[in-house]
A and B are shown apart, each in its own frame.
Chain A
Amino acid sequence: MIIRPLPRRTLLRGAGAALALPLLDAMMPRRASAQAAAKQRFFAFFYPNGTDPGRWEPAAGPLDAANLPECLVDMNGFDAEGIWPAGDAILSDVTVVTGTDHSGVSTDIHIPSMALSAVGGMGNNYTPSEPTLDQYLADHLRGDTPFRSLSLTSTGDQAISQGTISFRANGQPESSIRSPQQLFENLFAGGTTDTGPDPAKLRRQGLLDLVSEDATRLQARLGQADRQRLEQYFDAISELETQLNATPGAGCSAPEDPGMVSGMHQKSKLFIDLSVLAMACDLTNVVALQYSNSWDIAYGDYTLGEGLESVGTWSDHFISHKLDDTDRATDLDGLNRDEAMAIANARVVACSRFKVRRYAYLINAMKSVVTPTGTLLDESLVLYCSENGDGDSHARTRMPVLLAGHAGGFETGRCVAAKDKPTAALHGAIIGRYGIEVSNYAGAAPIADL
């Protein structure tokens, strides 16, 4: 492993080149915003199948670059691979939270839809009965941004338990964007310069006014429950109107259309690039990105591990199960058990490191955006989460949780042991950093020393 920290601008150039998106222009400190007050933002990054907690969890206290657990060593920086550029160290930007207990929230295994929830389901195990963390924060952090939040998912899996991680109240799934091109169009196709009345915008506004009138007439005929449901439609109108009339931050120029892309790695990278750009342009303050559903992410385009320890084309799910599951990498079946287990463990480490590198890519991208008060990362908290803790056993305890950024003065570069506190305690602590008073969130006191 060559650890080769790169200067920040190199990362950016790499990112822009790989993407053919002129990120650099947009990410330069040209937001001529008069307000110097720090914005507050939140980014949730979901990657499935947990990890091997024993190879992920550092000791509580300051993180030691020389003594990181195997899964976290790339927090010291890493090389380019495939579509991903090399990355700077993120060690000083991240606090590792070990030992949170998610089992009371997600009572079944492999349920990504519960990953950002702090409470159980709506009489089931897959639709959260309260808004997920990103949606809770969206109401508080939106400010005057045109996009209340971005809910992004790279999987085409439509199952409600697998295909989305964002839910509003009463188990209502937030609509997820599944195509980077669609996200690009939503964010930037309307044009990013305010050059006076645009006929297309006027027409769209005329349509929205008309259907809003129509909805108001309809509303008068409906019963109370139907009127409540129709509120989703009014909210949608209001959201589109805000977006239509938004003027992106000065200096933000639209990137090139990324076109149709396939593959969850490619999609996730574009989602990161575009959503960081959206934050840089003050188009949104809240993003939730689901890298994959539980089953379908694999590493055939990458070289993770070498020789027999290579992950090859096995899926992350199969690798997470090591030796004894039907869903396992069967090429180890003929080896003696000690040898096979050593290799299976090494493969889980290789996958976990990959996951951390993708999170690090996001962190570095946010750190590279200079704002009037620092960087985008300074204004944010960036949560890494999964649906399982130990991917092998499916335990929803000892969850892999990373929290980066400095919103609310959050201190990084350390490890906090949650000592089996529930996810609600983690979420409460995150919410508290935004200045929202929570002494008891979803039945738990916030993790005190986070």
Chain B
Amino acid sequence: MLDYDFMRHAFAAAGIVAVLAGLVGYFLVLRGQAFAGHALSHVGFAGATGAVLLGVSPLAGMLGVTVLGGVLMGALGEKLVQRDIAIGVILTMSLGLGLLFLHFFTAYATAATSLLFGDVLGVDLPTIYALAGLAALTLAVLGFISRPLLFASLNPELAEAKGVNLRALGLVFLGLVGLTTAASAQIVGVLLVFALMVGPAATAQRLTVRIAPGLALAAGLALTEAWSGIALSYFTDWPASFWIASLSGGVYLVSLAI
């Protein structure tokens, strides 16, 4: 299986993204912003298709739009982040806009599928380097803000009284979610970002009440599910994204029963 370049690339890219998504997702689930993260991936779809139309790389387009979208959501604060209808409207409009961009750029018929559902077997070396850079940057910032972010997530009023800037933290964090979303979409596609960002983190929070083990478990589960998904895809010839999404959902369902 590892004799092939494209398989080695797939494992490397999925490994990087899974660890990143697991860790960022843990905070996302803790803050009750999973749906906001999901919406960002759809905003990213419009960004990626728009970029293709303009002749820019889809990853760059997606990154720009998801980070901008995240920061905007953060700036609007609690008002928007916990309003599922407003988020749903933005999500739908973005998907529609993405469709329009695709319509104008008819030459890329397969581009839509790979954006929506991912194309982990098509990852090339430069993309892996880009993903590694993105992950390093995101995790460095996340590590730096993780203490006040946890404080602000678990006890916002007290954190504010102790001098924590809730708004700035929320803004930076959703920016990081934007980066992570764009990275995850390279592996599982915009529609299935939930599988890497939310599934493992939600499972981890059901299995342990401690934060540090929870973070490790979220990253570990995401990594296991992503790699198992690719391996299963190799042996069955079914899409890797299908396997990753099924494992993510299945493991979560099993954790509910425990």
Question: Does A associate with B in a complex?
Answer: no
Q: Which residues of A contact B (CB under 8 A)?
A: none
Q: Which residues of B contact A (CB under 8 A)?
A: none
